[in-house]
C-alpha cells in the first residue's frame, strides 16, 4: 500500500513538473484556453502577420512590426546591429520588441538567430567548435554544457530562439555543410542532438524566459545525390530514399529531438524523391506532425518556399498546406508585404483553409506563451558580461581538446615544453577566422582577427617555457635550415558555408603542400594540424608527415589545441566520419578504400 501511495505521489509530482516545464507555470488546459481566446480576437491580417518572419536588415520601416503584428524577426548570418557589440544587440532586440508590442493585441515577437557554435554573430562571444568537432568528442554531457552556455549568451542579448541544432548526418563530404553535422552516423547524431536540444532549452532567464531550440533541416539535407544540387553539386539537391529507409535511417534523430521537447523544426531546402521538402505535406504534416507527434511549429528556411515549382502565390499555398507554420520570408528576395498580401489572398480564395491558418497561429502562440515570451518580452542587461566570459571559454577549450583526433604519431607527440626553439608555420597558425569557419560574425565567416580569441599560435606560446624560442613563419620559405628540428604546421580550408563550400575536389591546397615541403626540405620533422570542415585528400601526403591531427573548426579557444600538443591532456577525440583514401567517396566508401575508419583516433 505504502509503495503504491509513494508511486502515485511521484506520478503527481512528475506531472506537475512536466506541466510547469512545458508551459511556464500554465497547465496545458490553461495554455490552450489563453491561445484560443487570443485567436478568437485576431483578424486574418493579424494571423498572417504572426506567420511572417523578416530579417531585420530588410524591414522597410520599423513601424511595420506593429502595423502588421509581425510574428518574428531574425538575424541571418551577418545581420548585425550597426555596431557589433553585445549592448547594441540587446538594444536592438528591445527596440524591435517594444515597437512590436504596440500591435492591437500586444503580441510579442519571437526573435531567432543562428547560434550554431556559440552566439556566433556577436563580436566577442565564445565560439565553440563546429558540430563536426563536437561529434569527435562524442560526449553528450559536454554538448549539453556547450549548448547551455550558448543559450546563456543568446539570452543575454534578449534573443529568444536559436536555429540549432543541425541534425544532418552528412554522407557526401563535397557538401559545404558537412561540418554542421555531428557525424555521418545517424545514431551519434541522435544521441548528441538530443543533448544539444536539452542544453539549449535548459536556460530560463531571471524573468522566466526560456530559450527555444530548432532542429534542422527536415529532412535529408546531408543525404542528397551528387550532381542534383545547386550549381550541379550537393547543397539543396535531391535525397532518394524509400519511406521505409527514411524512417529507419533519418527519422529517429528527429524523434529524439521531439521527445526532448524541441519547440521548433526547420524544413530543409533539399527534395525528397524529387519533391521539395518545403512543399511536402507527406513529410511536414503526415509524418512529422501526425505520426511523430510534433506539437511545436515548423519554420521554413530562408526563401525556402520560393524554390517550390510554381509562382510565388502558389508556393505560399503549397508550403502552408504542406504544414509550414511560419515563413522565413527574409525580405531579401520577395518583399514581405507581397508575401502577406498573397497569403491573405490564398485564404480568401479558398486555396488555404482558415483551419490551417488557425492551426499554424495556435502553434506559434503556444511556443510564445509557454516559453515566457508574453510574460517578459523586454530584457534588461544584467547579464551581458556572460558573453565571452572566462567560464564559457573554459568550456569551449575543453570541447576543443576533446575534439582533436590524432591520426598519426611517429614518436613526436606530445611535444616537450622545454625545446630550445620550435617553428610554427602555415596559413592557419595565427588565423582566428580560419579556426572558426563559416557562420562566424558573417554568414561565410572571415579571415584573421574577426573576433576575440586565442589562435593556435597564441596557445602554443602560452604553453611553452619562457626560454623556448617560437619562430613563426607563414610558409616556411623564410627559415634558415634547422633553426629547430621540429615544426608545427597548420594548414586547411578557408571559411565557407552552404553552397559556397560545395567542392567537387577535396584536395589540399597547393600552397599548403608547398609550406610543408619547404619545411621538409630544410630538414624539419613536421606535425601537421589540419583545420577543416571535413576529411580531405591526405593519403598521398601523410607518409611525409611525422604526426598528423585533425583539429576541425575549433573556434576561438586555440589553447585547447596546445593542451593536446604538449600532453597536458591525453587525446581522446575519435573520427565522427570515416576518412576515405579519396575523400570524395564520402561516408559510403568501401571499407577497403578507407584511410581511417569512423571511430579511429590515437
Q: Give catalytic residue positions.
A: 301, 498
Contact 126, 392 (CB under 8 A): yes
Tell whether residue 77 is a contact of ligand BGC (CB under 6 A). yes
User: Of the listed pieces 16-24, 74-82, 87-95, 414-422, which binds ligand BGC according to CB under 6 A?
Assistant: 74-82
| Min CB(60)–ligand BGC separation in Å | 17
Q: Given the complex with ligand BGC, which of 114 and 585 has the nearer CB atom?
A: 114
Contact 475, 513 (CB under 8 A): no
> For ligand BGC, how many residues bind (rule: CB under 6 A)?
12
Which DSSP letter does residue 542 get? G
HSE toward the beta carbon, residue 522, CA cutoff 13 A = 21
| Min CB(171)–ligand BGC separation in Å | 18
Which DSSP letter does residue 87 get? H
* Dmax (CA) of the chain: 84
The residue of the chain with the least Cβ separation from ligand BGC equals 76
Q: Given the complex with ligand BGC, which of 218 and 369 has the nearer CB atom?
A: 218
Q: Given the complex with ligand BGC, which of 304 and 558 has the nearer CB atom?
A: 304
User: Cis omega before residue 431 (within 30°)?
Assistant: no
| Min CB(342)–ligand BGC separation in Å | 21
Tell whether residue 439 is a contact of ligand BGC (CB under 6 A). no
User: Of the listed pieces 73-81, 243-251, 343-351, 479-487, which binds ligand BGC according to CB under 6 A?
Assistant: 73-81
Q: Given the complex with ligand BGC, which of 76 and 199 has the nearer CB atom?
A: 76
Q: Which of 395, 387, 390, 401 is nearest to 559 (CA)?
A: 401
Q: Given the complex with ligand BGC, which of 72 and 201 has the nearer CB atom?
A: 72
Of 54, 56, 73, 78, the residue at the interface with ligand BGC (CB under 6 A) is: 78
418-451 in b/e burial notation, b at 16+ Cβ within 10 A?
A: ebeebbbbbbbbbbbbbbbbbbbbbbbbbeeebb
Tell whether residue 438 is a contact of ligand BGC (CB under 6 A). no
| Min CB(501)–ligand BGC separation in Å | 12
By CB under 6 A, the residues from 331 to 360 that bind ligand BGC are 332
Q: Given the complex with ligand BGC, which of 374 and 500 has the nearer CB atom?
A: 500
Tell whether residue 301 is a contact of ligand BGC (CB under 6 A). yes
Q: Given the complex with ligand BGC, which of 144 and 302 has the nearer CB atom?
A: 302
Q: Which of 573, 518, 525, 522 is nearest to 551 (CA)?
A: 573
By CB under 6 A, the residues from 485 to 514 that bind ligand BGC are 498
How many of the other CB atoms lie within 10 Å of CB of 407? 21
| Min CB(534)–ligand BGC separation in Å | 17
In this structure, what C-alpha cell is assigned to residue 304?
A: 525556402
| Min CB(79)–ligand BGC separation in Å | 6
Contact 170, 119 (CB under 8 A): no
Contact 211, 162 (CB under 8 A): yes
Q: Given the complex with ligand BGC, which of 321 and 332 has the nearer CB atom?
A: 332
| Min CB(180)–ligand BGC separation in Å | 8
In this structure, what C-alpha cell is assigned to residue 297?
A: 511549429
Name the H helices within 284-335. Answer: 312-322
How far is it, in rounded angstroms, from Cα 561 to Cα 566?
Answer: 9
In this structure, what C-alpha cell is assigned to residue 291?
A: 505520426
Q: Given the complex with ligand BGC, which of 134 and 395 has the nearer CB atom?
A: 134
Tell whether residue 163 is a contact of ligand BGC (CB under 6 A). yes
In this structure, what C-alpha cell is assigned to residue 237?
A: 539537391
Q: How far is CA 167 from CA 177, 346, 427, 476, 590, in A?
A: 11, 33, 31, 40, 24
User: Of the listed pieces 72-80, 122-130, 226-234, 281-289, which binds ligand BGC according to CB under 6 A?
Assistant: 72-80
User: Of the listed pieces 59-67, 76-84, 345-353, 425-433, which binds ligand BGC according to CB under 6 A?
Assistant: 76-84
Contact 195, 141 (CB under 8 A): yes
Of 35, 49, 56, 76, the residue at the interface with ligand BGC (CB under 6 A) is: 76
Tell whether residue 443 is a contact of ligand BGC (CB under 6 A). yes
How far is it, in rounded angstroms, from Cα 339 to Cα 70?
Answer: 12
In this structure, what C-alpha cell is assigned to residue 226?
A: 551528387
User: Judging by DSSP bridges, how do beta strands 579-580 and 271-272 pair with one another?
Assistant: unpaired
User: Cis omega before residue 344 (within 30°)?
Assistant: no
HSE toward the beta carbon, residue 175, CA cutoff 13 A = 29
Q: Which of 467, 449, 461, 507 is nearest to 488 (CA)?
A: 461
How far is it, in rounded angstroms, from Cα 191 to Cα 193?
Answer: 6
Q: Given the complex with ligand BGC, which of 57 and 247 has the nearer CB atom?
A: 57
In this structure, what C-alpha cell is assigned to residue 292?
A: 511523430
User: Of the listed pieces 70-78, 90-98, 184-192, 466-474, which binds ligand BGC according to CB under 6 A?
Assistant: 70-78
| Min CB(443)–ligand BGC separation in Å | 4
| Dihedral class, residue 323 (left if φ above 0, else alpha if ψ from -120 to 50, else beta) | left
Tell whether residue 302 is a contact of ligand BGC (CB under 6 A). yes
| Min CB(332)–ligand BGC separation in Å | 6
Tell whether residue 216 is a contact of ligand BGC (CB under 6 A). yes
| Min CB(55)–ligand BGC separation in Å | 7
Binding site for ligand BGC (CB under 6 A): 76-79, 114, 163, 216, 301-302, 332, 443, 498
Amino acid at each position: 500500500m505504502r509503495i503504491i501511495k509513494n508511486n502515485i505521489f511521484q506520478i503527481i509530482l512528475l506531472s506537475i513538473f512536466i506541466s510547469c516545464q512545458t508551459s511556464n507555470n500554465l497547465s496545458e488546459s490553461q495554455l490552450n484556453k489563453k491561445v484560443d481566446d487570443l485567436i478568437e480576437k485576431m483578424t486574418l491580417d493579424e494571423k498572417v502577420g504572426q506567420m511572417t518572419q523578416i530579417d531585420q536588415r530588410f524591414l522597410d520601416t520599423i513601424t511595420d512590426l506593429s502595423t502588421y503584428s509581425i510574428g518574428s524577426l531574425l538575424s541571418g548570418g551577418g545581420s548585425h546591429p550597426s555596431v557589433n557589440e553585445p549592448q547594441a544587440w540587446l538594444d536592438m532586440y528591445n527596440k524591435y520588441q517594444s515597437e512590436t508590442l504596440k500591435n492591437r493585441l500586444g503580441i510579442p515577437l519571437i526573435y531567432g538567430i543562428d547560434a550554431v557554435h556559440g552566439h556566433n554573430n556577436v563580436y566577442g562571444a565564445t565560439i565553440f567548435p563546429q558540430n563536426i568537432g563536437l561529434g569527435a568528442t562524442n560526449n553528450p554531457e559536454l554538448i549539453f554544457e556547450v549548448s547551455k552556455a550558448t543559450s546563456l549568451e543568446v539570452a543575454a542579448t534578449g534573443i529568444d530562439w536559436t536555429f540549432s541544432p543541425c541534425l544532418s548526418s552528412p554522407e557526401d563530404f563535397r557538401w559545404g555543410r558537412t561540418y554542421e553535422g555531428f557525424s555521418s552516423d545517424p545514431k551519434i547524431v541522435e544521441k548528441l542532438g538530443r543533448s544539444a536540444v536539452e542544453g539549449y532549452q535548459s536556460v530560463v532567464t531571471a524573468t522566466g524566459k526560456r530559450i527555444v531550440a530548432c532542429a534542422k533541416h527536415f529532412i535529408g539535407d546531408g543525404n542528397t545525390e551528387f550532381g542534383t544540387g545547386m550549381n550541379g553539386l550537393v547543397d539543396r539537391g535531391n535525397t532518394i530514399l524509400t519511406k521505409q529507409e527514411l524512417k529507419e535511417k533519418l527519422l529517429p534523430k528527429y524523434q529524439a529531438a521531439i521527445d526532448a521537447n524541441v519547440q521548433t523544426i526547420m524544413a530543409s531546402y533539399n527534395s525528397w524523391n524529387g519533391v521539395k521538402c518545403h512543399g511536402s505535406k507527406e513529410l511536414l504534416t503526415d509524418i512529422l506532425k501526425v505520426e511523430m507527434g510534433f506539437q511545436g511549429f515548423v519554420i521554413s528556411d530562408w526563401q525556402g518556399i520560393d524554390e517550390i515549382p510554381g509562382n510565388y502565390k502558389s508556393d505560399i499555398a503549397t508550403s502552408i498546406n504542406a504544414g509550414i507554420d511560419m515563413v522565413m520570408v527574409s525580405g531579401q528576395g520577395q518583399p514581405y508585404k507581397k508575401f502577406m498580401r498573397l497569403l491573405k489572398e490564398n485564404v480568401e480564395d479558398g486555396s488555404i483553409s482558415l483551419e490551417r491558418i488557425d492551426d499554424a497561429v495556435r502553434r506559434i502562440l503556444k511556443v510564445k506563451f509557454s516559453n515566457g515570451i508574453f510574460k517578459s518580452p523586454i530584457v534588461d542587461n544584467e547579464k551581458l558580461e556572460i558573453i565571452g566570459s572566462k567560464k564559457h571559454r573554459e568550456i569551449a577549450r575543453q570541447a576543443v581538446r576533446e575534439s582533436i583526433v590524432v591520426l598519426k604519431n611517429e614518436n613526436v607527440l606530445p611535444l616537450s615544453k622545454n625545446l630550445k626553439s620550435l617553428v610554427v608555420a602555415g596559413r592557419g597558425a595565427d588565423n582566428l577566422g580560419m579556426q572558426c569557419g563559416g557562420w562566424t560574425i558573417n554568414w561565410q565567416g572571415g579571415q584573421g582577427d574577426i573576433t576575440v580569441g586565442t589562435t593556435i599560435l597564441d596557445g602554443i606560446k602560452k604553453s611553452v617555457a619562457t626560454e623556448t624560442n617560437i619562430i613563426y613563419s607563414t610558409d616556411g620559405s623564410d627559415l634558415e635550415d634547422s633553426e629547430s628540428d621540429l615544426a608545427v604546421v597548420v594548414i586547411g580550408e578557408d571559411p565557407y558555408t552552404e553552397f559556397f563550400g560545395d567542392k567537387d575536389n577535396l584536395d589540399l591546397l597547393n600552397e599548403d603542400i608547398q609550406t610543408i615541403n619547404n619545411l621538409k626540405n630544410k630538414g624539419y620533422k613536421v606535425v601537421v594540424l589540419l583545420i577543416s570542415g571535413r576529411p580531405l585528400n591526405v593519403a598521398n601526403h601523410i607518409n611525409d608527415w611525422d604526426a598528423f591531427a585533425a583539429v576541425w573548426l575549433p573556434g576561438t579557444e586555440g589553447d585547447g589545441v596546445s593542451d593536446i600538443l604538449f600532453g597536458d591532456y591525453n587525446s581522446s577525440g575519435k573520427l565522427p566520419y570515416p576518412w576515405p583514401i579519396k575523400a570524395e567517396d564520402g561516408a559510403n566508401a568501401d571499407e577497403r578504400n578507407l584511410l581511417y575508419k569512423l571511430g579511429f583516433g590515437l
